Amino acid sequence: MIQPGDRFPEVVIQHITDKGIEKTDTHTLFGTGRTVIFAVPGAFTPTCSERHLPGFVEKFDEFRARGVRVACMAVNDPFVMQAWTRSQAVPDGLHMLADGNAELTRALGLELDASAYGMGIRSKRFALLVEDGVVTRVFVEAPGEFRVSTAEHMLERLG
């Protein structure tokens, strides 16, 4: 599992933009500056759609005011992420990332086997702070929890 002090893995990922779906590498997204990346087990799932993403949407301007980019990732295909982005009124600048084959999730060591629920391999619910390509904070939720990866928790930990 990724730890503070580790370089953020370099993986090509699908980035949902106002122009559509674009492939980009994580070095371009996370190589400079400060970014909070949070992951949800699945777009359109209850906690993810009712609390997790909405919390970051609501607090997005506070992150921006602190000079911190925000990215949301899920192991879903880019078309699902595009539809979820629209349905959640995600503001411009909040990066939505589709990790359809769980490549980034596996590189981070944060995969979750949700096969028992018919969902296959997904991402654990987590939030990371990445500064100039290096992970400085790691918060991974215990199964069924939603406490340490919230927008509020991350804002408190930015310093």
Q: What is the mean pLDDT of residues 22-44?
A: 96
**Is pLDDT at 8 greater than 90 in this prediction?**
yes
Global pTM exceeds 0.75: yes
The per-residue pLDDT for range 145-156, each reduced to its tens digit, is 999 999 999 999
pLDDT score for 83: 96
Q: Which domains occur in the chain, in start order?
A: 37-122+139-157 (3.40.30.10)
Catalytic (active site) residue 72: no
User: Burial letters for 27-53: b for 16+ Cβ neighbours within 10 Å, e otherwise?
Assistant: eebbbeebbbbbbbbbbebebbbeebb
Which one of 13, 48, 53, 73 is the catalytic residue? 48
